[in-house]
Structure 1
Amino acid sequence: MAIRKFTKSDLEACTELLITVYNREPWNEKWKKMTAGNHLTELIHRMRSFGYVFVDKTTIVGVLFGVERTFWSGEEVYVDEFFIHPSYQQKGIGKEMMRHLEVYCKENDLEDITLLTDKMVPAHVFYQKLGFKMSNKTVFMYKSC
C-alpha cells in the first residue's frame, strides 16, 4: 500500500469511490457518476490544486484533494475532499494520508491546513484526534436559490 500523486487516469476510480463513500451512512448523499466526476474535475483544474491517492496494490482506496491558498495570515492548504473506502476505514490510512499532507505543507512552506466537516459524522472526532481545532468565529452559511 502506498500514497502517490493523483493523475488524470485516476479520475474514474476516484469518482466511483466518492459515490461509494458518500452515498451511504452517515452522509446519505445522492451522488451520481456525472455529478461526482464533474465535482472532482472542477477541483483538480483550479490553480494550485493537488491530489493524492492511497493505493492497495492497484486499487484506489483513499483520496485527498486540496488547494493551496493565500490568506491574510499566510499560505495555507484547504482540503476540498478527503475520503477512504468504508472497508479500509479505521485502519490508519486516513491518519497516514493526513501525515503525508503535513509533510507536503512543510516542504512547500504552507502554514496551515483548513477544512470543513460535519459535526455529526465520525470525521469530526478523527480530525480532533489529529490536532485540528474548531473555529469559534466561523459559521458555515447557505441559502437555497
Structure 2
Amino acid sequence: MNHNIIIVKITSVQTLERCAAIYPSAYNTEPWNDNWTYTTALALLTCYYNTPEFRGWVALQDGKIIGCAIGNIEPYYSGDIFILKEVFVAAEAQNLGVGRDLLATMKENLETINIKMIILSTRTPIIDFYSKSGFKVMDDVSTMVYAY
C-alpha cells in the first residue's frame, strides 16, 4: 500500500457523507466531465449503501477520505458475485496508487468470504486501470442505454 494511506471498510452512512464530498472532484474533470454535486453524489452513494449485501471501502490519508470503492454481493448461478458500482479517488490523490490499493484490499476481503467473481461496468478511458488489477473485458457483453 501507499505510504501513509490505509484502507478500511465502510461501516456507517456517515462515512458515505464524507465520500460524497470527494465524488464531484473525481468525476467532474477529465476524462468524465460530469456534473455531480454533493447532493446528487450523496443520493447515489446512499442508494448503493441501502442495497442488500452492500460492501464498501475507503482510503484514508491522515484521517481524510481520499478514495472509495463500493458495491454489493448478488446471487448468481455459479455462486455469489460482487458487483462493483464505484471506485473513485479525489482529484488531488489520483495517480498515486490509491485506486489500485482500494481494489487490492477489496479483492482480498471478498476472497475471504468466498466471492469468486467481481463484475463492473466502466467507460473506455479507464479500462487499462482495471486491466492492471487483473480485470478482463468480457466477450460478447455490451452495455446498453435507453435515454429519453
TM-score over 0.5 (shorter chain):
yes
Question: In 2, distance between residues paired with 1:37 and 1:61?
Answer: 16
Number of residues paired by the alignment?
Answer: 143
Q: Identify which of 92, 96, 120 aligns with 1:87.
A: 92
Asked if 1 retains the 8 angstrom alpha-carbon contact of 2:23 and 2:38, the reply is: no
Aligned to 1:34: 39
Distance, in Å, in 1 between the alignment partners of 2:27 and 2:8 is: 22
**Match among 79, 82, 86 for residue 74 of structure 1:** 79
CA shift at 1:52, angstroms? Answer: 0.7
Answer whether contact 2:81 2:119 (CA < 8 A) is retained: yes
List 4+ stretches of structure 1 deviating above 6 A: none
Give 1:117 shift: 0.7
Q: TM-score, normalised by structure 1?
A: 0.93
Which residue type is aligned with residue 122 of structure 2?
T
Higher relative contact order, chain-length normalized (CA < 8 Å, sep 6+):
2
Q: Where does residue 109 of structure 1 map in the other structure? A: 114
Aligned equivalents of 1:73 and 1:90: distance in 2? 35
Other-structure match for 1:137: 140
Q: CA deviation at 1:12?
A: 2.1
- Where does structure 2 lack aligned partners over 5 or more consecutive residues? none
Stretches of structure 1 lacking an aligned partner (at least 5 in a row)? none
Identity fraction in percent: 27
Which amino acid letter does the alignment assign opposite residue 141 of structure 1? Answer: M
How far residue 102 of structure 1 moved from its aligned partner, in angstroms, is 1.2
Aligned to 2:30: 25
Task: Give the drift of 1:33.
Answer: 2.1
| Superposed CA RMSD | 1.2
Q: Distance in 2 between matches of 1:105 and 1:11?
A: 20
